Structure 1
Amino acid sequence: MLRAALTVVTIALSSLAHAETKVPSSQAEISLGFAPLVKEAAPAVVNIYAKRVVEVRESPFQGDPFFQNLFRDFGAARPQVQNSLGSGVILSADGIVVSNYHVVGMATDIRVVLNDRREFTAEVLLADEANDLAILQLNDPEEMPYLPLRDSDSVEVGELVLAIGNPFGVGQTVSSGIVSGLARSGAAAGTGQGYFIQTDAAINPGNSGGALIDVNGDLIGINTRILTRSGGSNGIGFAIPANLVAEFVDQAKAGNTQFEKPWAGATGQPVDADIAESLGLDRPGGILISALHPESPFLAAGIAPGDVILAVDGNPITNGAEMIFRMSVAGLGGTAEISGILGGEPATRDVALIAPPEVPSRETVQTSESTVLPGVVVSNINPALTAELGLPLKSEGVVVHGLGDFGARVGLRLGDVLLAIDETQIESPTDVEEALRQASRRVSMLVERGSRRVTLRFRL
């Protein structure tokens, strides 16, 4: 009976290109379970202890359900040390480590502890909050154990996987499960905007940045977060695919300190059943392009609003996050093959993978001490700044991307587009300096915030 059950498992595993088909031949092999695999992979998974200094305001209204929101910037700011605990994975013998941004982002002191209790300090080479990834370099590393990266596009639902990390700070722990879903875009809570591998292997706080490995010990993803209402693992965890990790490592080794992803310069909506029927498509899927920036590489390749994008480099897509993921994995500098219904006919186009351009050139002004709001930083909007601040595609004018000492107190926010100050229409960054220098004791500012227009009034 046991041998028959093992044969069923072997048949399931035989569909995995990287798995070795073998029935355990002895009771000793059966009792080992995943032990040989864990013994080989665990040394490359590390614990990470990070410290960061943040500015904290002590407000007398803290805890009040009404006034704490009205006076969130009230009170003097003072520095406070925050500690974070997470996991990481060594990717090369020379000490390249990958972890999550929310573990090491903005950290001033990082300590990495190996499974054999050796400790190293580390520096962040590249970090990106949107993708929740960070690449570290260990200081003075020895010959390090590491995990090889597997092509995450070859991963299939139902594969056996192990999650290795340091949940709740109790020490290195291993949990097992399967890949329960692929192409989970935006399914995880938090700042992550990526494209995830879903697993039912238990992932808890502290597992962040740890390894999700297959039955050969190859890294298929970096554990990042869970979907939960209780705060505990409910069998829905998410990992960042190894292919995106590989692109991060390449950019870090090239000297990038910020992750550069290709810019589409396009907006669209997923093609659901109703849209598919109206377009004469046989099934839902893909993205209906609704708008393109004049500098968009899609527009330059001959793609127009109303076209439907179905695949990037042969990989089907269903939403914008998947499209950007596929472009990010391909990397900057080359081209991506875009397939879809273009101009009413099935077609493909080669689209250049470019960074958001600085067109027109960025003009930046920091308001002087002679103005009513010194230290506010404003710039004219271009594609690079639009991508940096997450502005709507067709934003124009002058945007705030530095608040100075008093900007937040009068209600300004990063990403506000300035339309007018008092009676002066704002058309360039120098207009802001001039208007704030001539402002009276009562100041009125009209800003565009997302899809809303907001008037800020304050008195000096």
Structure 2
Amino acid sequence: MRRIGLVLGGIIVLGGATLGAVHALSPDTGQSPPILQSARSEIVASPVQVQPAVVQQVPQSQPQIQLSFAPVVRATAPAVASIYARRVVQEQQSPIFSDPLFGQLFGGMGRSQPRVQNALGSGVILSPDGIVVTNFHVVGNADDIRVVLNDRREFDADVILQDQESDLAVLRLRGASDLPAIQIADSDRVEVGDLVLAIGNPFGVGQTVSSGIVSALARSGISVGSGRGYFIQTDAAINPGNSGGALVDMQGHLVGINSAILTRSGGSNGIGFAIPANLVSQVVAQAESGQTQFQRPWMGVSGQAVDANLAEGLGLGTPQGVAITNLHPQSPLAQAGMTSGDVVLAVDGEPVNSPQEMMFRLAARGVGGSAQVTWVHAGARQQSTVALVAPPETPDRARLTVQTLALRGLVAETINPAVAAEHGLDPQETGVIVIDAPDIAGRVGLMPGDVLHGINRQPVQTTADLDRALRDPTRYWEIDLERDGQRSLLRFRL
């Protein structure tokens, strides 16, 4: 499947992992058997402290010398499946048809042809009736999905919820019942050094188990999905095909969904990333309630991690928390009294040290409840109960697919607080955001995520404004756009 190579050689989204305490397991009982018998020797009084000697004995039985993950694997492997996804995409047939006027003269003939893309990944069964979680990049926009269980049973599957930002998707297997399922752990209890297993189908060779530890927590800025994710890092071997597979602890509970690796070669270098189980749990709960899109609580703020220089300027003793740089006047944090320059330290007692970590803590709690937010204002620590509400959908996002020649194929939405939150924009951003830019729209240089503010000196605040501006019969175009926070003009002639 397609691999995305980025930072330090590449972040590869894999087209899967296990946590817990390190101990020896008995194959019969799953308990930690005594390996060594020790006896304390007599210590003669001395001004120097002497450590007691240890008398080592030969192990008396096989369980005393066996270190094995087999009991955990037997309990969890049946709940990890292989996923085969198929999608049909339109591909340019010939470079000559890239010329908009040529395509117009010949009625658009030959511009593109269908091509089949196949994707391989893994998935985790979470309920006996066939709820499976995997990665969005494995099944997103797929036309056909086939799920193969460890016991070789096969099921067709439907996507019931997908969320590109978190890189998660929830499937329902058709006609499934009495399936093996895995229990979800509290990923907030995971610690660096915990032992984990990664289970998946790397390179399509069949179900494979690898072991490692939790290498780090709260990794953010990894370029998966929207790039605004929050991950558990592990050194368990993860390779293409592991995407959507399980990261489990020594109790056989799911602590994460494997999603990506950092690599120079395309294979595992011992730096893998898994989506924490607490977010997975919230996404699955919304899918089971009938939602098709994951809804995050709206905070209506943007911020930055507090470094040493910023901490000194804000009067903080140590670099910690997230400094609020902008907030929507109607946002829950603004209603609680927060202003720009305040620092959020924790959500429900869990420290937050990056905007991604703060948003993860809130998303894992879901819409409809509340959270205790600890923050600093003018040097004084405060705590407020903040309502977790859905982002406002006003003005209406009013999605538009452009049919006129100038930007034919462009898909755009009016930016409102909900759209701004989905795309990581400033909470008070206005204009129109590009959702997709195929056909002429892409060839003139537009990209998904671009924010359009004007067309030929006419302001664009809504998709209705965009539609009106594009009906101008001119052949000369100037687009005022914002990309990655930088404002620029895009000029072209048709």
Please, what TM-score do these two structures have when normalized by structure 1? 0.86
Alpha-carbon distance between aligned partners in 2 of 1:10 and 1:301, rounded to the nearest angstrom: 40
Shift in CA distance, 205/312, structure 1 to aligned 2, threshold 3 Å: same
Cα deviation, residue 157, structure 1: 1.7
Match for residue 356 of structure 2? Answer: 321
Alpha-carbon distance between aligned partners in 2 of 1:136 and 1:207, rounded to the nearest angstrom: 17
Letter aligned with residue 37 of structure 1? V
Alpha-carbon distance between aligned partners in 2 of 1:251 and 1:455, rounded to the nearest angstrom: 41
C-alpha distance after superposition, 1:341-399 (max 9, x if no partner): 13431110111212221133445666666x85566555543112223444333322344
Alpha-carbon distance between aligned partners in 2 of 1:379 and 1:42, rounded to the nearest angstrom: 43
Cα deviation, residue 436, structure 1: 3.0
Cα deviation, residue 191, structure 1: 4.4
Shift in CA distance, 428/83, structure 1 to aligned 2, threshold 3 Å: closer
Counterpart of 2:258 (choices 223, 242, 245) is 223
Alpha-carbon distance between aligned partners in 2 of 1:27 and 1:10, rounded to the nearest angstrom: 22
Counterpart of 1:253 (choices 288, 294, 303) is 288
Name the SS for the 1:330 alignment partner.
coil
Match for residue 476 of structure 2? Answer: 442
Shift in CA distance, 30/100, structure 1 to aligned 2, threshold 3 Å: farther
Residues 336-415 of structure 1: pairs in structure 2 closer than 5 A? 336-362=371-397, 373=407, 379-401=413-435, 406-415=440-449
Letter aligned with residue 291 of structure 1? N
Q: What is the aligned length?
A: 437
Alpha-carbon distance between aligned partners in 1 of 2:69 and 2:402, rounded to the nearest angstrom: 62
Cα deviation, residue 340, structure 1: 2.0
Match for residue 466 of structure 2? Answer: 432
Counterpart of 1:110 (choices 125, 131, 145) is 145
Cα deviation, residue 457, structure 1: 3.2
Name the SS for the 1:447 alignment partner.
strand
Match for residue 198 of structure 2? Answer: 163
Match for residue 131 of structure 2? Answer: 96
Please, what TM-score do these two structures have when normalized by structure 2? 0.80
Q: Please say if residues 443 and 457 of structure 1, whose CA atoms lie closer than 8 Å, have aligned partners that are also in contact.
A: yes
Alpha-carbon distance between aligned partners in 2 of 1:428 and 1:217, rounded to the nearest angstrom: 50
Match for residue 34 of structure 2? Answer: 23
C-alpha distance after superposition, 1:191-210 (max 9, x if no partner): 45322112111111111111
Residues 118-129 of structure 1: pairs in structure 2 closer than 5 A? 118-129=153-164
Match for residue 489 of structure 2? Answer: 455
Alpha-carbon distance between aligned partners in 1 of 2:91 and 2:333, rounded to the nearest angstrom: 44
Alpha-carbon distance between aligned partners in 2 of 1:185 and 1:164, rounded to the nearest angstrom: 23
Alpha-carbon distance between aligned partners in 1 of 2:401 and 2:211, rounded to the nearest angstrom: 53
Q: Please say if residues 10 and 23 of structure 1, whose CA atoms lie closer than 8 Å, have aligned partners that are also in contact.
A: no
- Aligned Cα RMSD in Å? 3.0
Cα deviation, residue 433, structure 1: 3.5
Q: Please say if residues 267 and 291 of structure 1, whose CA atoms lie closer than 8 Å, have aligned partners that are also in contact.
A: yes
Match for residue 54 of structure 1? Answer: 89
Letter aligned with residue 138 of structure 1? L
Letter aligned with residue 255 of structure 1? G
Alpha-carbon distance between aligned partners in 1 of 2:309 and 2:92, rounded to the nearest angstrom: 50
Residues 291-302 of structure 1: pairs in structure 2 closer than 5 A? 291-302=326-337
Name the SS for the 1:407 alignment partner.
helix
C-alpha distance after superposition, 1:157-185 (max 9, x if no partner): 22221111111111111111222221122
Cα deviation, residue 28, structure 1: 4.3
User: Identity over aligned residues, as a percent?
Assistant: 55
Counterpart of 1:142 (choices 149, 172, 177) is 177
Q: Please say if residues 148 and 218 of structure 1, whose CA atoms lie closer than 8 Å, have aligned partners that are also in contact.
A: yes
Alpha-carbon distance between aligned partners in 1 of 2:438 and 2:216, rounded to the nearest angstrom: 45
Letter aligned with residue 293 of structure 1? H
- More displaced stretch, 51-60 vs 223-232: 51-60
Shift in CA distance, 352/409, structure 1 to aligned 2, threshold 3 Å: same
Shift in CA distance, 345/403, structure 1 to aligned 2, threshold 3 Å: same
- RCO higher in structure (CA 8 A, sep ≥6): 2
Alpha-carbon distance between aligned partners in 2 of 1:32 and 1:51, rounded to the nearest angstrom: 41
Match for residue 154 of structure 1? Answer: 189
Match for residue 166 of structure 2? Answer: 131
Alpha-carbon distance between aligned partners in 2 of 1:378 and 1:108, rounded to the nearest angstrom: 23
- More displaced stretch, 93-102 vs 26-35: 26-35
Shift in CA distance, 340/432, structure 1 to aligned 2, threshold 3 Å: closer
Match for residue 205 of structure 1? Answer: 240
Q: Please say if residues 378 and 399 of structure 1, whose CA atoms lie closer than 8 Å, have aligned partners that are also in contact.
A: yes
Higher-Rg structure is 2
